[in-house]
Amino acid sequence: MNPLDNIRIVLVGTLYSGNVGSCCRAMANMGISKLRLAAPDIQDPDFREAVKLAVHATDILDARETFTTFEEAVADCVAVAGTTARGGLYRQHVKTPRETAPELLELAAQGPVAIVFGREDKGLLNEEVAQCTHLVRIPVAEGYTSINLSQAVMITAYELFAASGVYVPPHEKAPLAPQGQKEQMYAQWRDMLQTIGFMDDKQSDHMMQGIHRVFSRGVRTRDDAAIMLGVARQARWAAANLPAAPRES
């Protein structure tokens, strides 16, 4: 079972339906599909702005569950992680989303886990925080700690997604080149660079050290770039001025 299937994004007292739609889009990006609204105070009962901002995640929006109270929204959850930007005596044990993600996913393998986000204007109330088993705070610069609701959902959901191991990055399909093949390539380059007049026999050992370096680590320095620019210029000149060599069969 994918533990992300047991993650419940719970929005408490949400004011703007557009934020709900944006949260749906963030959830869809991160493979989370269960949305709960607890005591929403939305002035757009038709959720028109939410539909617009959800884009292709309207299935999450349409399947949302709505609860009268915070308590009802998290009643079946084995863990409740509340997000908070405010400090205080009972909010000192906060951890970052990255720190909490592995533990929350372990718990999600056993039952529903709520990730709770508070009101846009004042966050979670103290009595709601008191019912959370975990507290999460997104690291931000001290000068401005308020984060847009959907951005907070995206950051937290991303850490859960990354920790879940669901994403498999693309990788190079071709096998690594053996050293013998590389040496054949360098020999061909040496011959080609001499043929187009980029270097002569006396310069070849020195210049090939630069070519080796570029192929080994990429173009990183001004010297590396100068070598490759020089090769390109000389190749262009040779193509325009030297007799065409017969093609290899």
The CATH classification number of 3-164 equals 3.40.1280.10
- Give CA angle at 236 (230, 241), nearest 5°: 120
Whether the predicted pLDDT of 18 surpasses 70: yes
Q: How far apart are CA 66 and CA 68, in angstroms?
A: 7
Read off the pLDDT of each residue in 63-92 and give the average, rounded to a whole number: 88
Read off the pLDDT of each residue in 195-209 and give the average, rounded to a whole number: 91
For the chain, the domains span 3-164, 179-241
With H, G, I as helix, E, B as strand and everything else as coil, classify residue 172. coil
Percent of the chain at pLDDT above 70?
95
Cβ atoms of 211 and 186 within 8 Å: the answer is yes
Which residues, 6+ apart, have CB-to-CB distance to 35 below 8 Å?
8, 9, 11, 20, 23, 24, 27, 60, 61, 63, 64, 65
Read off the pLDDT of each residue in 98-108 and give the average, rounded to a whole number: 97
Name the strands in the sheet holding 65-67, side by side, starting at the edge strand that comes first in the sequence: 65-67, 34-38, 7-12, 113-117, 79-83, 134-136
Q: Which two tokens stand for residue 68?
A: 């009268």
Whether the predicted pLDDT of 247 surpasses 70: no
Read off the pLDDT of each residue in 75-80 and give the average, rounded to a whole number: 97
Confidence (pLDDT) at 145: 83
Confidence (pLDDT) at 177: 94
Confidence (pLDDT) at 90: 57
What phi and psi, each to the nearest 5 degrees, are found at residue 36?
Answer: -125, 135
